[in-house]
Amino acid sequence: PGVYSSDTVCGLIEHYKDPAHCMFFEPMLTIPLHRNFTFPLQHLCRAVINSKLTYDTIPAIQLPKRLKNYLKEYHYKQQVRVRRLDGDH
């Protein structure tokens, strides 16, 4: 597929604001990445909880405010995982 081009920045924005025109590819490692450390249990728990929730649903769960803020923080510190919007894999 070719890359869309436009004479103006506004034209590019108009084109790519439609998710059907965007294709995202998640990089895959060909060789496993070996780490010499383990993630803290606190970090792993937050990652799992956030994988099941959206940022907007965090206030609705019954947890102390401090924990909710900690969960919300994750959305700003971690890279967003992207998926193709056209359904092809």
> Residue 66's pLDDT is what?
94
pTM over the 0.85 mark:
no
> Residue 79's pLDDT is what?
54
Q: How far apart are the first and last CA of the chain?
A: 15
> Residue 41's pLDDT is what?
94
pLDDT > 90: percent of the chain:
26
Domain count, the chain: 2
Task: Indicate whether 88 belongs to any domain.
Answer: no
Q: Are residues 27 and 45 in the same domain?
A: no
Predicted confidence (pLDDT) per residue in 52-70, tens digit: 888 889 999 999 999 999 9
Q: Which domain holds residue 27?
A: 1-34
Confidence class for position 19, pLDDT limits 50, 70, 90: confident
- Residue among 58, 82, 54, 61 at smallest CA distance from 69: 58
Q: Are residues 45 and 66 in the same domain?
A: yes
Select the more confidently predicted residue: 29 or 48: 48
